[in-house]
Amino acid sequence: MNKLILIILLIFISFQAQTIDTKAKQAVVIDFDTNEILFDKNSNQRVIPASMTKIMTVYIAFDRIKNTNFSITNKCRVSAKAYKMGGSRTFLEIDDQVSVDELLKGIIVQSGNDASIALAECLAGTEDDFAKLMNVYANRLGMKNTNFVNSSGWPDENHYSSVYDLAILSNSMVRNFPDLYTYFEMKEFTYNDISQPNRNKLLNQVDGSDGLKTGFTKKSGWGIAATAKRNNRRITVVINGTNSSRSRLNESANLINWAFNQTSQKILVDKNQIVKEVDVWLGVEKRVKLISSEKILSTLSFDQIQLMKSKIEFTKPIAAPIIKDKEYGKLHIEIEGRPKIIIPLVAEKSISKVNPFLKIIAAANYLMFGSSLNEK
């Protein structure tokens, strides 16, 4: 093949791997296992999180349930503030004693603002104090572009997040509370004789979808934090700023399906994998195996896998004594569109020096013939 044509073809292949796009104003796609960002569009831009805020409200409740005596059977009083709250509702009645289980379902399935406030007050006394707690959790999770002022996502100029921060929160929810997380799979909930479907339509239309939460305000548009699992692999997508609920569904579904269909997890190098066998200078053994000190798992497109390059760096020969597990080289892996990966290479075993009286003979033998004393 003509060299110029080959170069053009490689450029075209690289370009094709990046052609996925979305109508959402902000978006991020993350591989749950490797924590790698597969697609990014303004992911750190501050946005109005709307009802995606409720993921944090639920996260705090789950943490309390998991680590204290707080239980889903506990009862919470519905205050006047919760009862009068506008927007999406669970239709709680003032002064009713409602179980935490029902409040969680009201928040997750029905996106009830009234249920969010009732749960926040139950956990922290007031919603304002609960918002302070939300920010403590956000800081612990590394949500650097987030500030909460309420439990429901009711619009406020000081209430903001980013799709990347919401992805961090979503993945932490799945990772830290696998048993309680099943609440997000519920497709319908009835309270006070009023049945409401889960606003997350991905649950019915995308294979493997099992959460998390939609959001909408007139100013921010339609958004969703979503995750799906197929064949033991999980993908998380958060988008915001679409112009309709239909667009939100289509854009999030497209990104999830793209991630599963066009990327795959690949073990670049396994822990203790032999990478190179090299000469030993003045050692009782002539060669030593350099092995990877860690396992590197990465999520790549087919084209990235084909175009991946690697290089081994070490000093030749390696002088004895050699100490097991000590670093003697590096493996450099270059992947299109990714930071270079550098993996330390360590000695598979220890090798001592040769007898001092044989050093001169061994050195001469290596210099003259390129072999060690023990080489036959």
Listed in order, strand segments (DSSP E) in 48-115 are 75-77, 97-99
**φ, ψ (nearest 5 deg) of residue 55:** -60, -40
Distance CA 10, CA 7 (A): 5
Catalytic entry in 111, 162, 170, 292: 111
Could you confirm whether 75 is annotated as catalytic? no
Catalytic entry in 54, 105, 201, 286: 54
**CA distances in angstroms from 266 to 37, 176, 269, 337, listed in the order given:** 15, 25, 9, 16
**φ, ψ (nearest 5 deg) of residue 188:** -160, 150
- Around Cβ 178, how many Cβ atoms within 10 Å? 9
Tokens 């299109």 belong to residue: 336
Q: Name the residue among 194, 60, 72, 74 with its Cα closest to residue 129.
A: 60
Could you confirm whether 209 is annotated as catalytic? no
Catalytic entry in 41, 43, 51, 151: 51
**CA distances in angstroms from 60 to 63, 136, 165, listed in the order given:** 5, 10, 16
- Around Cβ 125, how many Cβ atoms within 10 Å? 10
Could you confirm whether 51 is annotated as catalytic? yes
Listed in order, strand segments (DSSP E) in 170-217 are 188-191, 194-197, 209-217
3-state SS class at 164: helix
Q: Name the residue among 60, 256, 28, 72 with its Cα closest to residue 177.
A: 60
Distance CA 92, CA 95 (A): 9
Write out the catalytic residue numbers.
51, 54, 111
